[in-house]
Amino acid sequence: MTSTSTAFQDGEEIPAEYGYDGRNVNPPLTFSEVPVSAKSLVLIVEDSDAPDSVFAHWILYNMSPATLQILEGKLPLGAQQATNDFGVQGYGGPKPPPGQSHRYVFKLFALDTTLFDVRPEDRRSEIYTLMNDHIIDKAELTGTFTTKA
């Protein structure tokens, strides 16, 4: 399974417009080679360099396994959103402390089930718990984001 973006290449800088202080919209994403046995997809966007712990910027679940792309600033049809670490349901763009560069990992998971027990207030840890033992494939796309000092 693969995940790519036309906005940035794996390991490259995410354009400022997708940052929290920019337009704060999700970048376009494209998925391929999703296993035919997948029942749903989950996308979790994490800042792996956050000072206290991993910080979740976007959590989408129950996406159709037929989802081949997420358009810029759009939510895929039928997808649901859990609460990110900004405390809202939806996308929260990169926002490292001034003068720092952080890595943002777009983690795509193919599951052998759909997640029926998610509550609106559920966050990253609850989603990972619900996905436990149901992940059949995974793809990652990493971008960096730097704020000016």
State the CB neighbour count (10 A cutoff) for residue 68: 12
Topology classification of domain 2-146: Phosphatidylethanolamine-binding Protein (3.90.280)
The CA distances from residue 83 to 26, 49, 50, 118, in Å, are 15, 20, 17, 10
Q: What is the pLDDT of residue 46?
A: 97
61-89 pLDDT tens trace: 999 999 999 999 999 999 999 999 999 99
Q: What is the pLDDT of residue 109?
A: 98
84-124 pLDDT tens trace: 999 999 999 999 999 999 999 999 999 999 999 998 889 99
Phi, psi (degrees; rounded to nearest 5) at 31: -120, 145
Pairing of strands 69-70, 29-32: antiparallel
Q: In angstroms, rounded to a whole number, what is the distance separating the alpha carbons of residues 28 and 8?
A: 9
Neighbour-count burial for 13-23, b at 16+ CB within 10 Å, e otherwise: ebeeebbbeee
User: How much of the chain, in percent, has pLDDT values that exceed 90?
Assistant: 92
**Domain ranges for the chain:** 2-146
* Tokens at 114, concatenated: 């759909």
Asked if residue 49 has pLDDT above 80, the reply is yes
Mean pLDDT computed over 32-41: 98
Enter the pTM of the model.
0.96
